[in-house]
Amino acid sequence: MSTLGIVALDAADYRLARDWNCDNLLLENHRELETFAYSNRYPNTVEVWTSAATGAHPEDHGLLSTGEHQDWRNPLLEYASKVAPYVLPKDVRVAIGTRLRGDNDDDGAGMAMRQTSHSHLFEPEGRVVRWWPGVTPGEHVSETWHWFNLASNGELSDAELWRRLYGNAGVELGWLQGMAQAEVAVAGIHMHVLDAAGHTFASHPDRLRDVYERVDAMVGSLRDRVGDLLIVSDHGMQVEWIDGDDEPGLHSWRALASTTLSEPPESVYDIRDWVDERADKGRDADRRAVMDTTEEQLRELGYLE
């Protein structure tokens, strides 16, 4: 059974990936992926990822950007006013002021992104998804913004912030490798690190390039370990050094699609069908869980009471 691994690489910019020769982000075949903007001037993360998973327009999948949030120009300074409404359902927003003030072990706990009730590509038996906005609570996104908030208050050092962001990136890609060993048909993971980096380093090419190169190397480690790969982004990032990017730090239209298979999808709306056409069908659904240790032995070992 060969796993099709999908990396939802938020904000991976097609132009930047090519300019910086990120061969692992570009895989064997790549193209600029057509994306869309509905509620905002530029593509919106939740609207686009939900459309990618469902194949449906925001009017149909129901996760519209409320207009209360715009793209965050300076996440280090504007977290509370712009980002908080983005991730929180209205009824828990009241609580956020206090819970975001201090750092603690349950970073971001209780902060969940909205999820669609529309059918989506990860529903069939044998498919798994983690952290994908619109179809999971996407806790890592809230967590990232929480960390930026702490960094902006001087409660988190730059080094610690990036340690945490790369830590999450490793968890994400490691999970995908694990799912490939479990021989699932399709595994989808969302990564937030390039979006965070893009908003932060839109006028710092050296620092942004450094993040792209590290993520490229991490994605490279998947190539031998996951059967086939599809990498897609929801949008790119406008940067100061590209002519025509009038609003550096806001999303660009340069989304990316790449794959180890032929012909990447053309549009974010095509992703669901594209995956359905290529994913393995038959599953080991009837294979029972096996445990050779007896109940008595488990009791002796202290695993059972």
Q: How far is the CB of 129 from Zn ion (least distance, A)?
A: 17
Considering only residues 145 to 184 of the shown chain, the ones binding Zn ion according to CB under 5 A are none
Q: Which is nearer to Zn ion, 126 or 134 (CB)?
A: 134
143 binds Zn ion (CB under 5 A): no
Report the alpha-carbon distance of residue 280 to residue 217 in Å, rounded: 27
Distance between CA atoms of residues 31 and 7, nearest Å:
15
Identify which range of 26-34, 58-66, 85-93, 230-238 contacts Zn ion by CB under 5 A. 230-238
Q: Do the Cβ atoms of 234 and 252 come closer than 8 Å?
A: no
Beta carbons of 136 and 121 less than 8 angstroms apart: no
Residue 8 is given by DSSP the state: E
By CB under 5 A, what part of segment 74-113 binds Zn ion?
A: none
Residue 13 as a binder of Zn ion (CB under 5 A): the answer is no
Find the helix or strand (DSSP H, E) in which 237 lies.
strand 236-237
Q: Which long-range contacts (CB under 8 A, 24 or more apart) does 274-278 make?
A: 274/230, 275/4, 275/6, 275/121, 275/186, 275/230, 276/121, 278/4, 278/228
The window from 1-9, 31-39, 179-187, 227-235 that contacts Zn ion (CB under 5 A) reads: 227-235
Q: Which is nearer to Zn ion, 143 or 234 (CB)?
A: 234
Q: Would you say 131 or 228 has its CB closer to Zn ion?
A: 131
Q: Could you tell me the smallest distance in angstroms from the CB atom of residue 45 to Zn ion?
A: 3
Measured over all CA atoms, what is the biggest interatomic distance in the chain, rounded to whole angstroms? 70
Amino acid letter, residue 299: R
CB-nearest residue to Zn ion: 45
**Of the two residues 11 and 239, which places its CB atom closer to Zn ion in the complex?**
11
The answer to whether residue 234 forms part of the interface with Zn ion (CB under 5 A) is yes
Residue 31's Cβ-side half-sphere holds a number of Cα atoms within 13 Å equal to 11
Whose Cβ is closer to Zn ion: residue 11's or residue 184's? Answer: 11
Residues numbered 189-218 forming contacts with Zn ion, rule: CB under 5 A: 195
Taking CB under 5 A as the rule, does residue 10 contact Zn ion?
yes
Question: In terms of Cα–Cα distance, which of 63, 85, 94 is closest to 142?
Answer: 85
Site mask for Zn ion (CB under 5 A), range 32-51, x = bound: -------------x------
Nearer to Zn ion, 127 or 235 (CB): 235
Using rule CB under 5 A, residue 71 touches Zn ion: no
The answer to whether the beta carbons of residues 203 and 167 sit under 8 Å apart is no
- Note the residues at the interface with Zn ion (CB under 5 A): 10-11, 45, 195, 234
